[in-house]
Amino acid sequence: MDPTEAVVSTTLNTVSRVSGRLAGTGAYALFHMPLARSKMRSSERELFDAAHRGRVRVNGKSAVTYRWGTGERPVLLVHGWQSRGSRFSDFISGLLDRGYSVVTFDAPGHGDGTGRSTTIIEYQKILTELHDQYGAFEALVAHSLGALGSFHALTKGVKAERIVAISGVCDFEYLVDEFVSGLKLRPSLKGELLVRIGKDLFPGVPADRMPFSVRHATEVITAPVLVVHDEDDTRIGVGQGRAIAAAFGDRARLITTQGLGHRKILGDPDVVRSVLDFVEHG
């Protein structure tokens, strides 16, 4: 735990002894706030300078969108937490070479997006707006938290013919557990945090389906799914990838790698080739 996290941990735990609700509010705000904002790498800049840029407004903030191609045969790329659309550069070049149009974005609080925070519901709204603009996607490729947000959007009307989850999150509660564990928060704070999540993000959802899990989406989503996850991912454990694949049964294919971790997996040539082949041929 770094010094900033240590201060946050101590503050929230102390406040929770006086007011669990107040501490829960603080934890909820922090839970949706990336502590770092990824910068574009020099190797990514030329490709992204050539993109057509746009914006999607959501809750007073803006996601920055990027598009290459005519808009025909669209493929949507969805980044994860503390990341940005440019991390898909190796995929973008390959997709363009195969005749696809490519769409990606920087969510609020990420990359060139505005604001300091975002939620799974804001991801859903961004994906819905892009779906309204480009129609059903030939494929949707998502990384990390972006996979969970994408599956949620797919249950709300977004359509994609093929789905790829790389280092993906299966269960929203997994993120809550990692957040509470990482900050060494008191167990009671997890309960307060889940109350806020249920009230603000998933109102009206039955208790046995709150918070959201990809397991809840399999009856709605009928597209084939490719799951790629590294055995040595210390950010999102490979068990989450296995859970996504298991949830879809025969409709899913699981590829596991070793030594790539959570982020290097996006630049691995074998992973990129496998994903491009799945997008094109299934």
AA letter at 31? F
Q: How confident is the model at residue 15 (pLDDT cuts 50, 70, 90)?
A: very low
The 10s digit of each residue's pLDDT in 182-192 is 778 778 788 88
Distance from first CA to last CA of the chain, Å, rounded? 42
The pLDDT tens digits of the residues spanning 144-192 come to 999 999 999 999 999 999 999 999 999 999 999 998 887 787 787 888 8
Mean pLDDT to the nearest integer, 30-38:
87
pLDDT reported for residue 18: 45
- pLDDT given for residue 186 in this prediction: 77
Q: Could you give the percent of the chain with pLDDT greater than 90?
A: 78
Cα 232 to Cα 129: distance, rounded to the nearest angstrom? 35
Q: What is the pTM of this model?
A: 0.93
Q: Is the pLDDT of residue 4 over 60?
A: no
pLDDT for 11 beyond 80 = no
Higher pLDDT: 86 or 179? It is: 86
69-82 pLDDT tens trace: 999 999 999 999 99
Mean of pLDDT values over 201-220: 92
- Would you place residue 1 in the very low, low, confident or very high pLDDT band (cuts 50, 70, 90)? low
Contact 230, 262 (CB under 8 A): yes
Question: Rounded mean pLDDT of the chain?
Answer: 91
2: confidence class by pLDDT, cuts 50, 70, 90: low
CB contact at 8 A, 146 and 82:
no
For the cut 70, the answer to whether the pLDDT of residue 21 exceeds it is: no
Whether the pLDDT of residue 67 is over 80: the answer is yes
Of 232, 79, 94, the C-alpha closest to 165 is: 79
Q: By the 8 A CB rule, do 126 and 63 touch?
A: yes
Q: Is the pLDDT of residue 66 over 50?
A: yes
Q: How would you list the strands of the sheet with 225-230, edge to edge?
A: 52-58, 61-68, 101-106, 74-78, 139-143, 163-166, 225-230, 252-257
Is the pLDDT confidence value at 235 over 70? yes
Chain center to CA of 167 = 9
What mean pLDDT do residues 253-270 have?
Answer: 98
